[in-house]
């Protein structure tokens, strides 16, 4: 299917139009996806949109995109969603089952952009139905990487990476044989605390952690980025997505966020993926893959950037990255444990219940406890992974309650 548009050419014909479902439509990735679709000269048709808890925003987006179906995860917002869509002909539904229904609507591609573990079940449903999934939710692979990749192979479909780093690597790899790849390197911006001392980072407030220098993202991923936990999660994601062992995955800090990923080959050559720090670039690539579309995404101007710098990550100042990499190397289901504990810890930090450095401590303690009592194990299915996720979350909440009682 060819969605490529030349400058000034006519809109797409009906047979060219690619149908899309957007999961997580009201989040930052979902909104950027909607902008690309709206400016695509009719190359895309939106079948369904799904959001979390904002019925008015979801209804507005559904109307703007001409969706046929709108699903809200929070059932309490159903009445407001239905009223907001009255007269539009757009069907409204709410609850977890409704989000899964949206994922299963007929579509050429499903944008999987629901944040956190909440996105696992609907994204897996879309994959199981044979849909091509543009994956913007790294927790799917961190929590249940092996089951996801097995299902993609069984269904004869694929996961297209939306994360800027993984998308750059995907493009840089091309159709290369994995045996010819010596190293895959993901870059990290370093976040707002890149030059801070360990003592200053330990005292960081949520407002400071949310002040990312390069990217505009949701609060959870922004806090993850501030502590480099996000980069650890991305390495785990890359392990499953590209089928490369931990020994061939590397991280370097690159403050300008221009080089997003590098692939080094056994003959000594290196291919790098570069782009302006704009999520519309990888989103557009996935929406039109294997063709390319013309978008208004920001263009890279290296003369304006002026200088590209690279440095090794500091595991002393950013212990969350070490904890994540240890989880990948250990295996035994620890990435699932890590992901669950991290979501609870980040929420606790944002609610001012723990310090910034307590995030990494809490996650590491959860991993050690899960290994000690046998909770951690390699999940065979998504249901198995989600059950482990639930158990880890309950224990993490219990730890926080005990901590509060002793304070």
**Residue 3 pLDDT > 50, yes or no?**
no
Quick one: average pLDDT of 77-104?
A: 98
Q: Which two tokens stand for residue 166?
A: 């993984």
**Residue 28 pLDDT > 80, yes or no?**
yes
For residue 8, give Cα distances in angstroms to 136, 168, 360. Answer: 30, 28, 51
Answer for the pair 338, 363: CB distance below 8 angstroms, yes or no. yes
CA angle 318, 320, 325 (to 5 degrees): 110
Quick one: average pLDDT of 248-256?
A: 97
Answer for the pair 399, 362: CB distance below 8 angstroms, yes or no. yes
Would you place residue 403 in the very low, low, confident or very high pLDDT band (cuts 50, 70, 90)? Answer: confident
Q: Order of strands across the sheet with 259-265? A: 249-253, 181-188, 259-265, 270-274
Instruction: Give the closest residue to 104 by CA, choosing from 29, 50, 45, 27.
Output: 50
Between CA 349 and CA 340 the distance in angstroms is 15
**Which domains does the chain possess?**
14-162 (3.40.50.720)
Burial class (CB in 10 A: 0-12, 13-18, 19+), 154: exposed
Q: Which of 5-14, 116-125, 255-264 has the lowest mean pLDDT?
A: 5-14
Quick one: average pLDDT of 15-42?
A: 93
Would you place residue 2 in the very low, low, confident or very high pLDDT band (cuts 50, 70, 90)? Answer: very low
Rg (the chain; Cα; Å): 21
Between CA 316 and CA 259 the distance in angstroms is 25
Would you place residue 296 in the very low, low, confident or very high pLDDT band (cuts 50, 70, 90)? Answer: confident
Between CA 318 and CA 237 the distance in angstroms is 19
Percent of the chain with pLDDT over 90: 90
Instruction: Give the closest residue to 205 by CA, choosing from 214, 196, 218.
Output: 196
Between CA 347 and CA 309 the distance in angstroms is 32
Instruction: Give the closest residue to 380 by CA, choosing from 124, 157, 148.
Output: 148
**Residue 7 pLDDT > 50, yes or no?**
no
Answer for the pair 326, 300: CB distance below 8 angstroms, yes or no. no
Quick one: average pLDDT of 227-253?
A: 97
Between CA 336 and CA 328 the distance in angstroms is 10
Q: Which of 11-15, 30-34, 267-271, 381-385 has the lowest mean pLDDT?
A: 11-15
Give the pLDDT confidence of 309-321 residue by residue, as tens digits: 999 999 999 999 9
What integer pLDDT is reported at residue 14 of this predicted model? 55
Q: Is 383 helix (H, G, I), strand (E, B) or coil?
A: helix
Quick one: average pLDDT of 349-374?
A: 97
What integer pLDDT is reported at residue 15 of this predicted model? 58
**Residue 98 pLDDT > 90, yes or no?**
yes
Give the pLDDT confidence of 139-151 residue by residue, as tens digits: 999 999 999 999 9
Would you place residue 405 in the very low, low, confident or very high pLDDT band (cuts 50, 70, 90)? Answer: confident
What integer pLDDT is reported at residue 11 of this predicted model? 54
Quick one: average pLDDT of 156-179?
A: 96
Instruction: Give the closest residue to 282 by CA, choosing from 20, 69, 79, 32.
Output: 32
What integer pLDDT is reported at residue 77 of this predicted model? 98
For residue 241, give Cα distances in angstroms to 137, 170, 177, 339, 384. Answer: 12, 9, 15, 17, 20
Provide the sign of the torsion angle of the four alpha carbons 336, 342, 348, 354, taken in this order: positive
Quick one: average pLDDT of 128-135?
A: 97
**Helices then strands (H, E): number in the chain?**
17, 11
Burial class (CB in 10 A: 0-12, 13-18, 19+), 252: middle
Give the pLDDT confidence of 308-361 residue by residue, as tens digits: 999 999 999 999 999 999 999 999 999 999 999 999 999 999 999 999 999 999
**Residue 152 pLDDT > 60, yes or no?**
yes
What integer pLDDT is reported at residue 297 of this predicted model? 85
DSSP, residue by residue, 66-122: T-SEEEES-GGGHHHHHHHTTTTT-EEEESHHHHHHHHTSS-SEEEE---SGGGHHH
What integer pLDDT is reported at residue 12 of this predicted model? 56
H helical segments located in 85-226: 96-103, 120-128, 139-155, 164-173, 198-202, 206-209, 219-226
Across the chain, what does the average pLDDT equal?
94
What integer pLDDT is reported at residue 100 of this predicted model? 98
Single pTM value for the model = 0.92
């Amino acid at each position: 299917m060819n969605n490529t548009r030349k400058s000034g050419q006519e809109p797409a014909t009906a047979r060219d139009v690619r149908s899309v479902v957007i999961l997580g439509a009201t989040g930052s990735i979902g909104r950027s996806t909607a902008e690309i679709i709206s400016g695509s000269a009719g190359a895309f048709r939106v079948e369904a949109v799904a959001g979390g808890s904002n019925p008015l925003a979801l209804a507005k987006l559904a109307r703007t995109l001409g969706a046929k179906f709108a699903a809200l995860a929070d059932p309490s917002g159903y009445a407001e969603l239905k009223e907001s869509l009255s007269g539009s002909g757009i069907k409204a539904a709410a609850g977890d089952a409704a989000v899964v229904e949206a994922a299963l609507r007929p579509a050429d591609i499903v944008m999987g952009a629901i944040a956190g573990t909440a996105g696992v079940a609907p994204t897996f449903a879309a994959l199981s139905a044979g849909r091509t999934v543009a994956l913007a939710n790294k927790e799917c692979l961190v929590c249940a990487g092996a089951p996801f990749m097995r299902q993609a192979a069984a269904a004869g479909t694929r996961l297209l990476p939306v994360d800027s780093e993984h998308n750059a690597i995907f493009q840089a790899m091309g159709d290369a044989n994995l045996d010819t790849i010596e190293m895959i390197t993901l870059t990290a911006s370093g976040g707002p605390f890149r030059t801070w001392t360990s003592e200053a980072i330990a005292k960081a407030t949520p407002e400071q952690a949310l002040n990312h220098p390069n990217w505009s993202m949701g609060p959870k991923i922004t806090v993850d980025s501030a502590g480099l936990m996000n980069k650890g999660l991305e390495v785990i994601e890359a392990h499953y997505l590209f089928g490369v062992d931990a020994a061939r995955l590397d991280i370097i800090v690159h403050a300008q966020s221009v080089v997003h990923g590098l692939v080094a080959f056994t003959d000594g050559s290196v291919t790098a993926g570069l782009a302006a720090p704009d999520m519309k670039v990888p989103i557009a690539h996935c929406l039109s893959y294997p063709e390319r579309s013309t978008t208004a995404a920001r263009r890279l101007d290296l003369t304006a950037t002026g200088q590209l710098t690279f440095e090794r990550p500091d595991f002393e100042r950013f212990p969350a990255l070490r904890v994540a990499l240890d989880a990948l190397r250990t295996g035994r289901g620890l990435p699932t444990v890590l992901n669950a504990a991290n979501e609870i810890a980040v929420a606790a930090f944002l609610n001012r219940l723990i310090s910034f450095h307590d995030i990494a401590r809490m996650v590491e303690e959860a991993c050690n406890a899960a290994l000690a009592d046998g909770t951690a194990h390699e999940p065979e299915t998504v249901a198995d992974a989600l059950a482990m996720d639930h158990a880890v979350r309950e224990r993490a909440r219990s730890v926080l309650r005990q901590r509060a009682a002793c304070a």
